[in-house]
Amino acid sequence: MTELDLDRGPFWFGGAGIGNLLRTVSDDDARATVDAAWDAGVRGFDTAPHYGLGLSERRLGAALADRPRDSFLVSTKVGRLLVPGRGDGDDLASGGFAVPNDTVRQWDPSPSGVRRSLDESLGRLGLDHVDIAYLHDPDVYSLEDGLTQALPTLAELRDDGVVRAVGVGSNSFEALDAAVSTGLCDVVMLSGRYTLLGQPAAALVARCAALGVAVVAVGVYNSGLLGRDRPDATATYDYAAAPAELVARANAIADVCEQHGVTLPEAALAFPRRAASVAAIALGVQSAEQVRSNVERAAAVVPEALWDDLRVAGLLHD
C-alpha cells in the first residue's frame, strides 16, 4: 500500500465532460473549464482513454502543460485500448461521446495491454507519470481476468515507482469489494452507489475504512437526479429517465433539506464525505459555470441534524 493524500481542493475534476460526454464541447470551452477548476483550487484531475476516445486525456494534458507538475495529481485508467476503428460516424450512439469513431475500444486486461494503455495515456496527457492508475470497469468484460491479470500488473507498476497508487473504478460495488479482497488496491473509485439517494455500497465503504483503502466517490448526483434543488419528471438517473419513485424520494429528501436551509445538491455533495474512507469526490464538469456552481455547493455548511432527521424519516440508511 502507498500513502497518497487525495484531498486536492473542493473536489476532483472529472474529465468525462471535456471528452464530449453526450454533447460537443469546444476546445476553448474545455480549456476554460479546466482553468476555472484550477482557479477554484482544484488540484486533482481524473480522466480515462474511454472518455471521448482519448479526447479528454489530450485536452486535460494541454490545459495542465504549463502548471507545476508537483502541484497537482492526475489519475487515468486502463483496461480499454484504443485501436484503429470504424470511422463511419460518431461514437455517441455506441459509446456515449460526441466524437468521431475513428478509433474503437478494445478490452485488454493482459499485462502487455495494461502497460501499453498506460504508455499511450501518458503520451496523450504529455506527462511522464500519473499518480493513480485505475482498472476501469472490469466487471463489464471479465472481472476474473481484471483481478488476476490487470490489477497485479498495476501493483507491479506501483511497486516499480511508475505510478503512486492503484485501484479499480466501477459502478459495481460487488466488483470493487472483490478487488479490495485481493489486497492490491490503494484506492477504489465508486460510482453512484453511495449517495444521498441510496447507499447499497455502505458495507464496502465501511470495509475500506477498516482496511485503509481510500474511496473516491463519483456520481454523487446520480447522473443528475440530485443535481437540482427540485428534480422533476425530466430528471435523469444512471444516464436514463429517472423512475417516478426515485424522483419522489429525491423530493422528499429535498423537503427535509429545506427545513435545514440546505439545498438538495449541497447535501448530495456533503453526504459521502462524512464516511471515514471517502478521501475525495470527483465531479464531472463540462463548463466553467458548472465548476463555479459546484465550488459554491461544496462550501455549504450542512448541519448534523439534517442527517438525523433524514434517518428518522426513513430516507437515509447509512
pLDDT in the model for residue 3: 76
pLDDT in the model for residue 2: 58
Taking residues 118-124, report their average pLDDT. Answer: 98
β-strand partners of 187: 167, 214
Taking residues 64-82, report their average pLDDT. Answer: 97
Q: In this structure, what C-alpha cell is assigned to residue 133?
A: 492508475
105: left (phi over 0), alpha (psi -120 to 50) or beta: beta
Question: Which structural domains are found in the chain, ordered by start?
Answer: 12-227+277-301 (3.20.20.100)
127-149 pLDDT, tens digit each: 999 999 999 999 999 999 999 99
168-191 pLDDT, tens digit each: 999 999 999 999 999 999 999 999
User: What amino acid positions are annotated as catalytic residues?
Assistant: 51
In this structure, the number of other CB atoms found within 10 A of the CB of residue 158 comes to 20
Helix, strand or coil for residue 58?
helix
pLDDT at 1 over 60: no
The candidate with the shortest Cα–Cα distance to 204, out of 220, 181, 182, 221, is 181
pLDDT at 76 over 70: yes
| pLDDT category of residue 315 using cuts at 50, 70 and 90 | very high
β-strand partners of 280: 216
Taking residues 151-156, report their average pLDDT. Answer: 98
9-51 pLDDT, tens digit each: 999 999 999 999 999 999 999 999 999 999 999 999 999 999 9
Q: In this structure, what C-alpha cell is assigned to residue 289?
A: 459555470
Higher confidence at residue 223 or residue 58?
58
Q: To the nearest whole number, what is the mean pLDDT of the chain?
A: 96
Question: What is the percent of the chain with per-residue pLDDT over 70, rounded to a whole number?
Answer: 99
Point out the least confidently predicted range of 17-21, 236-240, 244-248: 236-240
197-208 pLDDT, tens digit each: 999 999 999 999
pLDDT at 295 over 60: yes
pLDDT at 318 over 80: no
